[in-house]
Structure 1
Amino acid sequence: MSTRRVLTGVAAVLAVALTFAVAAPAAAAARKQTKPTIVLVHGAFADSSSWNAVIPLLQAQGYPVVAAPNALRGVSSDAAEVAALLKTISGPIVLVGHSYGGSVISNAAEGNPNVKALVYVSAFAPEVGESAASLSGKFPGSTLAQALAPPVALAGGGRDLYIDRAKFRDQFAADVPEALAAQMGAGQRPITEAALNEASPAAAWKNIPSWFVYGTADKNIPPQALAFMAQRAGAKESVAVDGASHVVMVSQPDRVAQVIQNAAATATQ
């Protein structure tokens, strides 16, 4: 056998070995990155800080987490902004919405194959043509209308809605410590009246598996309405937390995080 042939054979073996040496870590990294990204969308009269107690629980389990901004201006426009954010995320996504944020995720997920699960946290899951306001009034129990402060007229037309700070804790966060509820009331984000009355253009829960968790003492969205929406969506899991308020993710973060993790566990199967 010639020296040239031996050297050629050695070079081929080395090339194969080098290929495996490079490919093995890449394959291992791909196997390691199995957890979906969890995107959290806040609701009306709140901001992304409403997820502060849930985020570290999810991160401790190795989940990448993004708390998405929600402008609270209108279902279609808010959903478009969240949808644009989702397009920047590679791999599977678990999309979570609180309150009005449920209407937003029901539209933002439409047509995005990466969204593998929807989690509704005391949230609306509207059918096409339904609004947050119509669903709130479908069953008795909501006292939100009586708790609102005088509307704020907007320069371009329309009105912003706030919860009266004196009524905020009782209406929105009755099971949250008084000092924290006062902070939440002071920092609440307004929602436009039009957003609460805008008909939903889509209902992604019809095609994407859903999970629900809510409090039995919710005064914004009647628990009966939340149970109805969960049943209608064919929820994989529906958890009613006894005595919890509208902000169940603030008062009962462990329960909410567990439901999100249950949804995430199916996102890569």
Structure 2
Amino acid sequence: MFEKVSRFTRRTFFKGAGTAVATTALLGQNTLSAYAASSSSQEALQSSASGVGLNVVLVHGSFVDASSWSKVVALLQAQQYNALAVQIPLTSLADDIAVTRQALASISGPTILVGHSYAGMVITNAGTNVSNLIGLVYAAAYAPEQGESHNDLTAKFPPAPISKHVIASYRSGFRWVDPPAFPADFIQDVPLPVARVLAVSQKPFAPLCFSTPSGAPAWKQVPSWYLVSKNDRTINPDLERFMAKRIGATTIEIASSHASPVSHPEDVFQLILAASRKR
């Protein structure tokens, strides 16, 4: 299902992915029910539960909200992980970091911090000097060095196709992806009706999110894992590979759109499991 590419570890973490457990439909839409697995798959996961006492904090990127993690959360809960999907405001990088830090402070015990897309900027900063943090997981996410912004990283490689379609949204001063372009350039690997629902359910972001430079990165303090989406049309996959290599992450590559937590939740789940088992 995925290709393991990291040269930083020789351990084989994954023994194959099962089908995803049934979840509540993303954004309240029954159209996501096509991804639900059988109850027997859920029972099998529950019978081998290994996440007791472990926290997984998941942070969404721009253009979506915390419901984008719903399938990953269901898989984690079936393994008895304590999962928390944070709703960040997307009003500024500083605001998003602050909310994520509050979420981290609300729980105790060993914690994995996971970010998708823009949220890589958030977890890189929110995870700094958190004593119970044991790992970072980046799902097609930005992984900055100190002083780098989202925009700085994007400029290192040719722009992804979606860049032509980021426009002013209905919210004054906030931006989003032009909805007709969203299915093809953000999440081309789910049924079109699902993608269309997500396109008009976007959470607009403030430009300050993308222009603010990062502080000291948490990936210098704890181990990191990275999932590269080979079919990404939102972030250049070569930029993802560059960032993963630079932070020394254990890396996998999968044939996914940018929105891997929605379209390939099992792969994201398996990478989180790998991170949790390294403690």
State the TM-score bracket (shorter-chain normalisation): 0.7 to 0.9
Alignment match of 1:239 (pick from 247, 252, 269): 252
Taking the aligned partners of 1:176 and 1:65, their CA distance within structure 2 comes to 24
Give a deviation string over 1:158-216, Cα, whole Å, max 9, x none. x2111011000011001111111111111110111111111112211111110001211
In structure 2, relative to structure 1, the CA distance for the partners of 1:76 and 1:216 (3 Å cut) is: same
- Cα shift at 1:251: 0.9
Unaligned stretches of 5+ residues in structure 2: 1-49
Larger radius of gyration between Structure 1 and Structure 2: 1
Q: Determine if contact 1:141/1:219 at 8 Å carries over to the other structure.
A: no
Residue 236 of structure 2 aligns to which amino acid in structure 1?
P
Q: Determine if contact 2:171/2:204 at 8 Å carries over to the other structure.
A: no
1:208 aligns with 2:226: no
Residue 157 of structure 2 aligns to which amino acid in structure 1?
F
Taking the aligned partners of 1:46 and 1:217, their CA distance within structure 2 comes to 19
Q: Determine if contact 2:98/2:126 at 8 Å carries over to the other structure.
A: yes
- Cα shift at 1:143: 2.1
Aligned residues with identical type, % of pairs: 38
In structure 2, relative to structure 1, the CA distance for the partners of 1:152 and 1:128 (3 Å cut) is: farther
Alignment match of 2:242 (pick from 228, 236, 240): 228
Give a deviation string over 1:112-134, Cα, whole Å, max 9, x none. 11111000011001111111111
| Residue equivalent to 1:10 | none
1:120 aligns with 2:138: yes
RMSD: 1.5
1:197 aligns with 2:199: no
Alignment match of 1:148 (pick from 143, 166, 170): 166
Taking the aligned partners of 2:176 and 2:105, their CA distance within structure 1 comes to 31
| Residue equivalent to 1:188 | 202
- Cα shift at 1:142: 1.2
Residue 165 of structure 2 aligns to which amino acid in structure 1?
A
Counterparts of 1:1-269 in structure 2, within 5 Å, are 34-150=52-168, 154=172, 159-235=173-249, 237-242=250-255, 244-267=256-279
Number of residues paired by the alignment?
Answer: 230
Structure (1 or 2) with the greater helix fraction: 1
**How high is the TM-score relative to the length of structure 2?**
0.79
Taking the aligned partners of 1:204 and 1:224, their CA distance within structure 2 comes to 22
- Secondary structure of the equivalent of 1:118? strand
Unaligned stretches of 5+ residues in structure 1: 1-31
Give a deviation string over 1:67-86, Cα, whole Å, max 9, x none. 01111111122101110121
Q: Which runs of 4+ in 1 moved over 4 A?
A: none
Taking the aligned partners of 1:234 and 1:227, their CA distance within structure 2 comes to 11
- Secondary structure of the equivalent of 1:54? helix
Q: Determine if contact 2:176/2:202 at 8 Å carries over to the other structure.
A: yes
- Secondary structure of the equivalent of 1:149? strand
**How high is the TM-score relative to the length of structure 1?**
0.82
